[in-house]
Structure 1
């Protein structure tokens, strides 16, 4: 009952803000109608056109930020906590820049009230992103779930309010255009809250529970060398005891698959090949996998290994380990071979 009361308080506040804005808009609309239509100079029309273009750019950027926000939340199982923190900070910074750029726009005469709506839109959206980050990490850290649930619900309510305010902005923009003789003045649509059910505290509780269950899987990290995927060029002809027999050639190329067996996308995974013959002639080559997602496999190829026909040789391929990896028994593969004379 206490949570419901807090939610009703927030909703009441939102309704009061919208009603206040509507009253201001109505009063200003009456003033605009009294002025009547007027002929616009070419310079005035260009000023209005530039204004619409500037607003459209900001709104497109705002839409993109919303997409990135929910995309970040939806892929939480694929990123570490540090990456999640960085991505949310980037979203907050990009939203802040849009808010500041919106405030710096000087609206044309008769469009001041419409622009006021737009500033409210960007302000509430920025506030939602700013408040969401600490609320999310409070929930993940098991700090007062009741408070963090209310905080996250309020951030989604801010998003909902910004979408409603944007509709008022569109209507007021069109009305301002009509008042000065420009019909059908429009700007692109904008909706940031993709799932309106998230304005419900109960649904947010489910949202938090799902995220907490998924983030526990982030602790499992590890890469592996897939032994049965190894391929040689020249090809393997047969086996003699523990040695593979390769066809004759002047150089050797080895290809093998590396798999991400954890639940976290890994970056900059080092793969090392050590090669030596029975005469202690040794060589080492390395390759770095720039990124590999959970359960994905990447083929790593090492070329230019000198062939030593008739000599016993051995190579070892090692992947990783990656940070916080626990199981490392499958990180390396050793193969013994000989090349035909």
Structure 2
């Protein structure tokens, strides 16, 4: 099968050797696996981080978001059959989705939204799972909770679905941040009640919006640089949830306000095959229903063309620039 791989880590995305096309054997499904013919993928920051910083001794397939059609199933599969149209974010411990075929455990896949094309659907799995788990599993927000949620980086992939989930499925006042005029408008369209510029002091932006303190913070990007302000903005006994990777994070300043810290990694359930691993199947099933009934919309930001090494290099470069809005999708081989 055709696959796009990296063989040398640390190369810039613009280097023609950073991602290359290769023929690899078609994978064979294990007991609970689906063999999926992949129609569309999207690019996430984790893809670029691994390409730059994770050495590999063999060609490694990156990418975990995928939408496609089930070609075959393992002997213990009960949730799907060949011909089903599915979407998933995969496991970081297995080969990724930049290939014509991929394997995924049925417990972390779901039927894709019927109202979306493969490309539109591929934009959503990883970010939807991350946003849902962060909001409902880590921060433990209930639909009727009162208070405010500050989303730092609301225009990005996770932020653009988290903004929708929080504004449509909860009663929280949602304050999103974005640094450019076009991304701030995008965040408003997604449902944020207030939008502030995170290139300026966050506390000033919150005060200008009439928000002296917030109950919850979702730190999606540059948490280290915003950290002192986030602590000051949080109300006593507030909750701080993160998804990014600060080099160092001093938790001591959280004590005075009894702020709780929550770290979300979408891959944890599949990586450790936790007892509740099937929750990701359930979350994606719920998100598909919310898409099909019009509650949520795809966060596709730009369609980058076919799934080729050249187009993936362009997509990686755009993600690394920090200027992508929503998700970058590639479709077809």
TM-score calculated relative to the size of structure 1: 0.19
Report which of the two structures shows the higher radius of gyration computed on alpha carbons: 1
TM-score calculated relative to the size of structure 2: 0.20
Flag the structure with higher helix content.
1
* Bigger RCO of structures 1 and 2 (CA < 8 A, at least 6 apart): 2
